[in-house]
Amino acid sequence: MGCGTSITTRRVNKSERAIKAAVLIQRWYRSYMARLEMRRRYALSIFQSIEYAEEQAQLQLSKFFTFMLDHFTKANETHPDVSSNFFPTTSDYTMREYEQTIEVPASYYGPHLCFPLTVADTDVLLQAFKHRQHLHARYVLQLLHETRKVLQQMPNITHLSTSYTKEITICGDLHGKLDDLLLIFYKNGLPSEENPYIFNGDFVDRGKNSIEILIILFAFLLVYPNHLHLNRGNHEDHIMNLRYGFTKEVMKKYQCYGTAILHLLEDVYSWLPLATIIDSKVLILHGGISDTTDLNFLNLFQRNKLKSVLRPVKSNAETVCKPRGASLVETCSHRTEATKSLSGQDISLKEATRSTSAPSKRRRYSRDVSDGKEHLGNLPGRGSSSLLPEVQYLKPGSVTTPHTSSELTTKEWKQVVDILWSDPKHQNGCTPNKFRGGGCYFGPDVTARLLRRYNLKMLIRSHECKQDGYEISHNGKVITIFSASNYYAEGSNRGAYIKLNPDLIPRFVQYQVSKSTRKETLHQRVTAIELSALRCLREKLYTHKSELIAAFRQYDPNYTGKISPGEWASAVESVLCLDLPWRTLRSRLVYLDQDGRVEYLSSFDNFEIQLPIKEVQPFLVETLCRYKADLEIIFNMIDKDHSGLISVDEFRQTWKLFNLHLRINVDDESIDSLARSIDFNKDGSIDFNEFLEAFNVVHKFGNKYNH
Q: Within a 10 A sphere around the Cβ of 646, how many other Cβ atoms?
A: 19
Nearest to 522 by CA among 138, 108, 37, 19: 37
Catalytic residue chosen out of the listed positions 71, 136, 175, 235: 235
Whole-number Å distance between alpha carbons of 372 and 571: 65
DSSP element (H, E) containing 79: none
Residue 486: CB atoms within 10 A of its CB come to 21
DSSP character string of 18-45: HHHHHHHHHHHHHHHHHHHHHHHHHHHH
In 385-421, which positions are buried (b, 16+ CB within 10 angstroms) versus exposed (e)? eebbebbbbbbbeeeeeeeebbbbbebbbbbbbbbbb
Strands (E), 32-180: 157-160, 168-171
Residue 595: what residue type?
D
Give the per-residue SS3 of 388-406. CCCCCCCCCCCCCCCCCCC
Of the candidates 634, 665, 653, 657, which has an alpha carbon nearest to the alpha carbon of residue 247? 634
Task: State the distance between the two ends of the chain, measured CA to CA, in whole angstroms.
Answer: 60
Residue 643: phi, psi to the nearest 5?
-80, -15
Q: For residue 276, what are the CA distances in angstroms to 388, 391, 446, 523, 575?
A: 12, 10, 19, 41, 40
Contact 256, 141 (CB under 8 A): no
Chain length of the chain: 707
Q: Residue 40 to residues 274, 463, 515, 531: CA-CA distances in angstroms?
A: 34, 20, 19, 10
Calculate the dihedral angle through the C-alpha atoms of 288, 289, 295, 298, rounding to the nearest 10 degrees. -70
Pick from 498, 386, 377, 381: which is nearest to 449 by CA?
Answer: 381
Peptide bond preceding 105 in cis form (omega within 30 of 0): no
| CA 607/CA 542 separation, integer angstroms | 7
474 is annotated as an active-site residue? no
Q: What angle do CA 153, 158, 163 make, to 5 degrees?
A: 120
Please report the beta strands in 397-490, taking only residues with DSSP state E, as ranges in sequence order: 423-424, 430-432, 440-442, 458-461, 470-473, 478-481
CA pair distance 36, 397, nearest whole angstrom: 59
Nearest to 436 by CA among 415, 451, 416, 417: 417
Catalytic residue numbers, as ranges: 235
